[in-house]
Amino acid sequence: MTIEAPARVEQGGKKRVPTTAHTALVEPAALPSPPRIPGRRNPKWIALGITALCLGALLSYFIYARVADESAVVAVVATVHRGGTVRASDLTTVKVSSGSGVPMVPASELNQLVGRKAVYDLVAGSLLPIGAVADVVVPSTGRAVVGIRLVSGRAPAGLLPPGSPVRLIAIPPAGAEPGFTDDYTGDTVIARVVSQAEAADGTSTIVNVDVPARQAPSVALLASQERLALVRDADK
């Protein structure tokens, strides 16, 4: 910045040429910023953040585990009555958790079911178990379906999927003397499960079985006397 000095008059009336004085104005030096004092970390917020991270990790794990444990199976979207022909529009595929205990038809076999017959009523909204459809209507020629009531201890616990191979064994009647025997005792009938349902008393099971037609009268008689025990065989 430049400041001009005023003209000076000397004795004798002579003017002296004014001179320019250059005076530098020094700006004050900037003051240093005060040191920043770090804020205090609230332990409650730290704990809350750690908890949120843990919950997020657990949620991610459960979602992954559930997705990894799912399998695609066939489900019924329109009821098909026993003996009816299954159409493509009657079925769909859904994902369910594995380990239900009842083998279901995998989604990859959906197209193989179209055009086959329903072994029993396929209810809309239910999953399709293995053996629920067949190439022929049950019973076929030379076969018969008999319903038997089995009390606890005379059949395997749990669900018997349709199509399960079983043996019906004739046993002595209740209250019989030790060593009792008749024309039926010990007889065995090879059969297959058509359907199963819990009886109204809640302590027994109703099982519809497909048996040879010539043995159906004997099976019906023994069933009425509660003289049958059911054995589940390996799938063939």
Tens of pLDDT, residue by residue over 178-221, are 888 888 899 999 999 988 888 888 889 999 999 999 999 999 99
Determine the pLDDT at residue 113: 93
Closest CA to 192 of 169, 212, 164: 164
Q: For the chain, give the percent of residues with pLDDT over 90.
A: 36
pLDDT bin (cut points 50, 70, 90) of residue 16 is low
Torsion angles phi and psi, residue 223, rounded to 5: -65, -40
102-123 per-residue burial string, b: 16 or more CB within 10 A, e: under 16: eebbebeebeebeeebbbbebe
CA 200 to chain centre: 30
| % of the chain surpassing 70 pLDDT | 76
pLDDT tier, 79 (very low <50, low <70, confident <90, very high otherwise): very high
In this predicted structure, what is the pLDDT of residue 11? 52
pLDDT of residue 91: 94
* Residue pair 86/80 in contact by the 8 Å Cβ criterion: yes
pLDDT higher than threshold 90 for residue 99 = no
Strands (E) in 52-136, as ranges, are: 70-76, 91-97, 117-118, 133-134
Tokens 């026993």, located at residue: 82
Q: Is residue 37 predicted with pLDDT exceeding 60?
A: no
Higher pLDDT, 119 or 191: 191
Identify the pLDDT of residue 70.
75
Of residues 143 and 175, more confidently modeled: 143
pLDDT digits (tens, 9 = 90+) for 48-73: 777 877 787 777 766 665 655 678 89
CATH topology of domain 70-134: Type Iii Antifreeze Protein Isoform Hplc 12 (3.90.1210)
Most confidently modeled range among 9-23, 94-108, 109-123: 109-123
pLDDT at 59: 76
- Give residue limits of the domains in the chain: 70-134, 143-232
